[in-house]
Amino acid sequence: MSDVDDILLNFSPGSLTLLNAILAIVIFSVALDLRPSDFRRLVQTPRPLLTGLASQFLLLPVLTFGLVLLTQPRASIALGLMLVAACPGGNISNFITHRAGGNAALSVSMTAIATVSAIVMTPLNIAFWGSLYGPTREILEATRIDPVQVAITVLLMLVLPLILGVTLNGKRPDWAAKVRRPLQNLSMLIFVAFIVLALAANWSFFLAYAPLVAGLVVIHNSLALAGGYGLATLARLTPYDRRAVTIETGIQNSGLGLILIFSFFGGLGGMAVVAAFWGIWHAISGIALAALMNRTEAAR
């Protein structure tokens, strides 16, 4: 079996362009649930939002780095974990928070603000934490990743669709109401189908190397959920808000992670398998946690 650090997965430029477009549509559909007034409300009561952002962009990278130091995985796997931790929350966090009986409006707003913040925070976290660990530093130096290019990618794929969706919902809420649910369902269906097809094209690699990352991804995701819950508890958030912060921290935008991996790291095997497995596992763990949380009503 080849070294996972040397494997490059099959992913054509056309496929990458399609994934970019799908992710942009997914973010646009999520933004149709937002209005400018939602952001003004968060300014008035910022503690839940600030706690969620700190959990995602500060606590999770620290926990990830600690996990890497403790387990010493292969370089590409370690960088994959760091990259996933540097991404903003995933869009399915909004659906899962709603199923958990948490503050779905807060979840949607956290996704939106984290998406905008990712222009700076995602490349910064990748560069900072990756440079602190010798094996991942070698990959970063070999690829010469440009933080500005990462920021531009995040801007085009996430922030621009977000702004367009919020603007449309603010100016023409009747149009937004008509297309919101069908577009969300269709875009998520296409996104899942695309990931399945991408995995099928690399199935032998995925089967060969998934056992190397499965345990780490499960532990990593558990740390993310526990970290979000712990920080929200320390911040004395209500159980209603705490559920949103917990899930938002444990559901990462692995689609963006895959785009960055194939755009800047040539589809490096360990990184891609980590992001792909994260995309599968965080949905399973999130839905299971939501079912558990939903057994009791959260105090507001």
Q: What is the CATH number of the domain that holds 124?
A: 1.20.1530.20
298 located within any domain: no
Distances in whole angstroms, Cα of residue 257 to Cα of each of 95, 103, 245: 20, 26, 21
Q: What is the DSSP letter of 252?
A: B
* pLDDT of 5: 54
CB 75 within 8 A of CB 138: yes
Burial class (CB in 10 A: 0-12, 13-18, 19+), 164: middle
**Residue 273 to residue 281: CA distance in whole angstroms:** 12
Distances in whole angstroms, Cα of residue 24 to Cα of each of 115, 149, 156, 159, 277: 12, 17, 8, 9, 21
String of b and e for 243-278 (b: at least 16 CB within 10 Å)? bbbbbbbbbbbbbbbbbbbbbbbebbbbbbbbbbbb
40 located within any domain: yes
49 located within any domain: yes
Residue at 255: amino acid letter:
G
95 located within any domain: yes
Neighbours of 238 (CB within 10 A): 15
CB 129 within 8 A of CB 65: yes
* Backbone angle region of 101, left / alpha / beta, with phi > 0 → left and psi within -120 to 50 → alpha: left
Looking at the structure of the chain, the number of domains it has is 1
Q: Which segments of the chain does DSSP mark as H helices, in order? A: 13-31, 36-44, 47-54, 60-71, 75-86, 92-99, 104-132, 134-143, 147-154, 160-171, 173-201, 203-234, 239-250, 254-264, 269-293
* pLDDT of 3: 55
229: Cβ contacts below 8 Å, ≥ 6 apart: 242, 245, 246
Please state the φ and ψ torsions of residue 89, each to the nearest 5 degrees.
Answer: -65, 150
Structural domain range at position 34: 4-293
Q: What pTM was estimated for this model as a whole?
A: 0.86
pLDDT digits (tens), the chain, 300 positions:
445 555 555 555 566 677 777 778 877 877 787 777 766 766 777 899 999 999 999 999 999 999 999 999 989 899 999 999 999 987 778 878 888 989 887 888 888 888 888 888 999 999 999 999 999 998 898 877 777 888 888 888 778 888 888 888 888 888 888 887 788 777 777 767 766 766 676 666 777 777 778 899 999 999 999 999 999 999 999 999 999 999 999 999 888 888 888 888 877 778 888 888 888 889 889 989 999 998 888 777
300 located within any domain: no
Structure token pair of residue 215: 């345990």
Neighbours of 240 (CB within 10 A): 18
299 located within any domain: no
CB 136 within 8 A of CB 79: yes
